[in-house]
């Protein structure tokens, strides 16, 4: 499909998630849409499989319009096909992270009123174990296993019945429920419409200026994450072929990029950090033209190293135009991408400056809802006409007057919880999360700025800054870091480095060096700061009511050699350390690894200004 065809598709409001595959087949005909180890797969194959599942849901399950269906199975491409088929049949798709515990799944299903569950033998036997563990009316086994589980329904091997046309749906009606971050409480189900899921469809036109049908995008993300689904939907609309990894590991990723000639890589910052820290051979990444990062902040050092690999264009005499790096920003409540930043060679750090993707609008306001002046931090708020973000079960009207979660302002803007600054050109620079600002002695300290200073040290592989309570200052800045293998740096070395690169009030009062993989994160690599705070909070001194940390830090020094180290205060804080792997898992290769926490979706906030 040429650029004009993509433009027409992006502007056609009759196209919904329910009829998207049918519309693409009608407009484009059969074409290659992806690559697997077994070879390429085509749009007709995708359409056929989606229609078969759709027919099974309507004929066998008797799926009702608007009925939720949960997808709780091993992470692979079939999850996306079930997602499309459920919506095509008129249902509501509820993708669930296969690493969720049974208790978490039980609570989510009860909250959404879901009575139909799609799973597979591996997840059922590892996590569910018996059918009476969940209040499910209809169990569906979706795998290639020869052995059928007792009292489970399965899609027939071949569908000989006529296919159903796609269900005509209201573009503003809920068609999917994705669950938000569980880092600050129990995950909430964001109710998304077709309009929300395809809200940034204009980005497919922009993508067509850089990538085309000859390009191949590698995605190693969980299908329970809105980012994976957004990339797949927009990739189909843009005509960009996809290659999806069920599980990320450095060696396998490098092999696949080199073997298939991958030209675009989509991932999260922790994934890219591990990729460049493995010191790959440049020949292995020579085919890459575009890097797209999302889900968390991507340090500038990692950005610079990524762009040393591959090339947007190869020029004579061995010269090249460096590969393009894109920073995406979005939220699950918005249905995906809302802002984008692009790194330009002549303007280092330019990807930190974001512009809204039409039809989204952005504003930066203070705590009273008044626009901030240029260069002054405030909350980033987003709005799109005809879209009212809300959570499943909430009664939210189009005027935003009824908003139980406080998600929408009285004048219809969505609160993101992100701090941002606007420059003179109107570009947005995000400086962190409101909840990630350390308030110390009247100063506001942004954890992103601390982490940027820490990771700029040659020995530091990863860093997480956070605040700990202090009796006089309110909070004090501290950090946990992981070192590169064999790095000789000590805590005092890193503290000296910070004193050289940060103002005195910003300098961490203590730095803990932890083992590789011990900084707790969910499976998209987002740091769980609350867990770090729990781990490194110290017991209060019974006689003075002041903690050991407070005594030390009030004097402005670090604990003396031999002083007691903070220790975890609860079993919950330990479980992240025990289960955090060395690689990021989009899905486990071994079902024994289903032990992680749910996925948040907050796309890459750029670094703060000094």
By DSSP bridging, strand 414-422 and strand 378-383 are antiparallel
306, part of any domain:
no
- The dihedral over CA atoms of 306, 449, 350, 387, expressed in degrees to the nearest 10, equals 100
Instruction: Look at residue 471 and tell me whether its pLDDT is greater than 90.
Output: no
φ, ψ for residue 96, nearest 5 deg: -125, 140
Q: What residue has token string 């074409």?
A: 31
Is residue 394's pLDDT more than 80?
A: no
Whether residue 316 lies inside any domain: the answer is no
Instruction: State the maximum Cα–Cα separation within the chain, in Å, rounded to a whole number.
Output: 79
Domain extent, residue 169, equals 17-197
Q: How far apart are CA 297 and CA 226, in angstroms?
A: 17
Q: Which of 134, 164, 197 is the last residue of a domain?
A: 197
Identify the pLDDT of residue 567.
Answer: 34
The per-residue pLDDT for range 201-230, each reduced to its tens digit, is 888 877 777 888 999 999 988 899 899 999
Instruction: Kindly tell me if the per-residue pLDDT of 542 is higher than 60.
Output: no
Q: What HEC string does 187-253 produce?
A: CCEEEEEHHHHCCCCCHHHHHCCCCCCCCEEEECCCCCCHHHHHHHHHHHHHCCEEEECCCCCHHHH
Those residues with Cβ within 8 angstroms of residue 502's Cβ, 6 or more apart along the chain or in another chain: 449, 450, 453
**CATH number of the structural domain spanning residue 124:** 3.40.50.980
Helices 226-238 and 3-11, packing angle to 10 deg: 130
The reported pLDDT for the residue numbered 396 is 52
pLDDT given for residue 562 in this prediction = 40
Residues 6+ apart with CB under 8 A from 496: none
Examine residue 284 and state whether it is found in any structural domain, yes or no: no
Rounded mean pLDDT of 157-186?
83
HSE at residue 104, side-chain half, CA atoms within 13 A, is: 22
Is the residue at 450 inside a domain? Answer: yes
Task: Record the tokens describing residue 261, joined without a space.
Answer: 């000639």
In residues, how long is the chain? Answer: 610
- The share of the chain scoring above pLDDT 70, in percent, equals 84
129 domain residue, yes or no: yes
Residue 213 lies in a domain: no
Note whether 491 and 452 are within 8 A (CB): no
Cα–Cα distances in Å, from 257 out to 120, 284, 318, 323? 29, 7, 21, 15
Task: Using the predicted structure, report yes or no on whether residue 395 has a pLDDT greater than 70.
Answer: no
The whole-angstrom separation of Cα 278 and Cα 358 is 37
* Segment 418-444 mean pLDDT: 86
Q: Which of 41-45, 167-171, 367-371, 576-580 has the lowest mean pLDDT?
A: 576-580
Q: Does the pLDDT at position 465 exceed 80?
A: yes
Q: Which helix (H) or strand (E) holds 480?
A: strand 474-483
Residues 11-21 have a mean pLDDT of 94
Residue 465's domain is classified under what CATH number? 3.30.300.30
Nearest-10 crossing angle of helices 571-579, 529-536:
120
As a whole-number percent, the residues of the chain with pLDDT over 90 amount to 52
Instruction: Tell me what the mean pLDDT of segment 54-64 comes to.
Output: 96
Last residue of a domain, one of 181, 197, 213: 197
Q: Let me know if residue 23 belongs to a domain.
A: yes
Residue whose tokens read 């860093």: 463
The stretch 302-311 carries a mean pLDDT of 92
Q: Kindly tell me if the per-residue pLDDT of 589 is higher than 60.
A: no
Q: What is the DSSP string of 489-521?
A: --HHHHHHHHHHHS-TTTS-SEEEEE-TT-S-B
Per-residue model confidence (pLDDT) at position 3: 76
Hey, is 531 helix, strand or coil?
helix
Q: Domain for residue 479, yes or no?
A: yes
Residue 433 contacts residue 499 (beta carbons within 8 Å): no
Q: Residue 346: pLDDT band by 50, 70, 90 thresholds?
A: low
Burial of 195 (0-12, 13-18, 19+ CB in 10 A): buried
Q: At what angle do helices 226-238 and 77-88 cross, to 10 degrees?
A: 80
Number of domains in the chain: 2
User: Of 170, 197, 224, which residue is a domain's last?
Assistant: 197
Q: How many angstroms separate the CA atoms of 288 and 531, rounded?
A: 36
Q: What pLDDT is attached to residue 185?
A: 54
Q: Out of 261-275, 337-351, 585-599, pick the least confident.
A: 585-599
Backbone angles phi, psi at 510, to 5 degrees: -155, 145
β partners of residue 443: 440
- Regarding beta strands 336-343 and 353-356, do their DSSP bridges make them parallel or antiparallel, or are they unpaired? antiparallel
Asked whether 453 and 485 are in contact (CB, 8 A), the reply is no
pLDDT at residue 358, rounded to an integer: 86
Q: What is the pLDDT of residue 268?
A: 86
DSSP assignment of 368-428 equals TSPBPPTT--EEEEEE-TT---EETT----TTS---TTS-B-TTSPEEEEEEEEE-TTS-E
- Please give the Cα distance from 533 to 518 (Å, whole number): 14
**Residue of 329 and 262 predicted with greater confidence:** 262
* pTM exceeds 0.85: no
Are the beta carbons of 98 and 224 closer than 8 angstroms? yes
Q: Give buried/exposed letters for 301-330 (b at 16+ CB in 10 A, else e).
A: bbbebbbebbbbeeeeeeeeebbbbbbbbb
For the segment 511-538, what is each residue's pLDDT rounded down to a tens digit?
999 999 899 887 667 788 888 988 898 5
Identify the top-confidence range among 9-13, 122-126, 333-337: 122-126
């Amino acid at each position: 499909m040429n650029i004009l065809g993509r433009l027409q598709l992006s502007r056609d409001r009759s196209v919904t998630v329910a009829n998207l595959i049918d519309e693409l087949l009608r407009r484009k005909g059969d074409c290659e849409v992806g690559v697997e180890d077994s070879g390429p797969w085509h749009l007709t194959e995708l359409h056929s499989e989606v229609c078969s599942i759709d027919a099974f849901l309507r004929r066998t399950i008797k799926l009702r319009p608007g009925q939720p269906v949960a997808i709780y199975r091993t992470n692979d491409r079939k999850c996306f096909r079930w997602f499309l088929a459920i919506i095509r049949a008129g249902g509501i798709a509820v993708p669930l992270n296969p690493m969720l515990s049974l208790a978490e799944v039980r609570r989510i299903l009860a909250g959404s009123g879901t009575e139909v569950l799609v799973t597979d033998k591996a997840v059922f036997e590892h996590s569910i174990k018996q059918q009476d563990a969940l209040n499910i009316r209809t169990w569906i086994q979706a795998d290639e296993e020869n052995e059928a589980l007792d009292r489970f329904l399965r899609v027939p091997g071949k569908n000989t019945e006529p296919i159903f046309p796609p269900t005509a749906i209201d573009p503003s009606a809920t068609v999917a429920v994705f669950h938000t971050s569980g880092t600050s409480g129990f995950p909430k189900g964001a109710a998304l419409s077709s309009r929300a899921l395809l809200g940034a469809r204009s980005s497919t036109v922009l993508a067509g200026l850089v990538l085309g049908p000859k390009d191949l995008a590698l995605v190693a993300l969980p299908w329970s994450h809105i980012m994976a689904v957004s990339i797949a939907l927009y990739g189909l609309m843009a005509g960009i072929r996809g290659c999806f990894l069920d599980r990320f590991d450095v060696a396998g990723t490098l092999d696949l990029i080199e073997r298939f000639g991958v030209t675009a890589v989509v991932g999260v910052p922790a994934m890219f950090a591990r990729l460049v820290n493995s010191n790959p051979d440049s020949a292995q990444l020579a085919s890459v033209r575009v890097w797209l990062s999302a889900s968390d902040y991507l340090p500038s050092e990692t950005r610079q190293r990524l762009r040393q690999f591959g090339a947007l264009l190869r020029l004579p005499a061995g010269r090249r135009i460096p590969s393009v790096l894109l920073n995406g920003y979005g939220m699950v409540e918005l249905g995906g991408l809302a802002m984008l930043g692009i790194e330009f060679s002549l303007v280092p750090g330019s990807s930190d400056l974001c512009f809204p993707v039409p039809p989204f609008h952005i504003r930066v306001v203070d705590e009273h809802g008044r626009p901030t002046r240029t260069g002054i931090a405030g909350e980033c708020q987003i709005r799109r006409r005809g879209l009212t973000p809300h959570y499943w079960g909430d009664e939210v009207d189009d005027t935003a007057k009824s908003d139980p979660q406080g998600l929408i302002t009285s004048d219809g803007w969505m609160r993101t919880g992100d701090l941002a600054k606007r420059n003179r050109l109107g570009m947005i620079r995000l400086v962190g999360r409101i909840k990630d600002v350390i308030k110390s002695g009247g100063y506001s300290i942004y954890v992103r700025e601390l982490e940027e200073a820490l990771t700029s040290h040659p020995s530091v592989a990863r860093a997480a800054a956070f605040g700990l309570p202090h009796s006089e200052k309110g909070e004090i800045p501290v950090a946990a870091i992981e070192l590169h293998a064999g790095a000789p740096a000590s805590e005092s070395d890193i503290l000296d480095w910070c004193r050289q690169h940060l103002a005195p009030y910003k300098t961490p009062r203590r730095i803990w060096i932890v083992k590789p993989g011990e900084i707790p994160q969910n499976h998209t690599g987002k740091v769980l700061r609350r867990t770090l705070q729990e781990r490194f909070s110290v017991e209060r001194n019974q006689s003075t009511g002041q903690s050991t940390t407070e005594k030390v830090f009030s004097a402005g020094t670090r604990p003396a050699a031999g002083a007691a180290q903070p220790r975890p205060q609860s079993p919950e804080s330990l479980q992240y350390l025990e289960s955090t792997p060395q690689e990021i898992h989009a899905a486990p290769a071994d079902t024994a690894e289903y032990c992680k926490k749910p996925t948040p979706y907050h796309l890459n906030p750029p670094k703060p200004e000094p």
